[in-house]
Homo-oligomer: A and B are copies of this chain.
Amino acid sequence: MRNIRMLLQYEGTRYQGWQRQTSSGNTIQGKLEALLGKMCNEPIEISASGRTDAGVHACGQVVNFHTNSQMPVDEILSYCNRYLPEDIAVIEVSEAAPRFHSRLNACGKCYCYRIINSKIPNVFWRRYALEIPEALDLAAMRKAAELLLGEHDFKSFTSAKKGKKSTVRRIDEISIKEEGDLLTFTFVGNGFLHHMIRILMGTLLEVGMGQRMPESMTDVLNACDREKAGPLVPAKGLTLMEVYY
């Protein structure tokens, strides 16, 4: 059996996230599996590097699936792009090693969270960025972000239910790029918990608005208590940029 690896791009706006649902949910995995099943003439199960939540976008989601189909990779690519809805695109298709697994082999990820920092709406970014009218103290946000770097227990920054799974992760980079009104927050790390970036952003925004001291980040980390962190910000500003292997 072949193991096919694909690089995907999607706009999450219309979808209930990546993961297929037992009921009739409109999901990206569901769309792709239905199409690939037809193409390969056999049931297809796709693994992704990670689930993205409803409304979250992807520039570089990595997935893989096993198939008996002999269709060449470039034909798979053009077949998919011919039949997929216009908010999902396949960017690359390649043969993967038999044991390659898009989730288990991922060693890191890069996400961007975008903000339009203006009192004025921006029609072109409205689906991809959160609008924040209040002035933000970026220096304070950068100071707070620095305290999050390295390996920590990020239990305070996840909506995941209590479980046996480790909530320790390593963040290698949190950077803020300003281009006019557009702020791009880039997060690079070895993995992110459920809702982690959106809660980190909610907490950083409280710092930016002067509602919380940058130094308080260390207390939030140490508390291991979701209540101590800031709010979950909307999904639409979040984009999975790249998965590292």
Contact = CB atoms under 8 A, between A and B. Distances in A.
Interface string A184-201: 000000000000000000
Nearest to A87: B123
A122 interface: yes
Interface in A71-87: 77, 81, 86-87
A59 B88 CA distance: 26
Contact of A81 (B11, B59, B90, B121): B121
A88 B128 contact: no
A152 interface: no
A141 to B, nearest CB: 25
B120 A124 contact: no
A123 B11 contact: yes
A130 interface: no
A221 interface: no
Contact of A123 (B9, B77, B120, B124): B9
Interface of A: 9-11, 57, 59, 77, 81, 86-91, 120-124, 126, 128
8 contacts: A11-B124, A59-B124, A77-B120, A81-B120, A86-B126, A87-B126, A89-B120, A89-B123
Listed from nearest, the 8 A-B pairs whose CB atoms lie closest are A89-B121, A11-B123, A89-B123, A9-B123, A87-B123, A91-B120, A86-B126, A81-B121
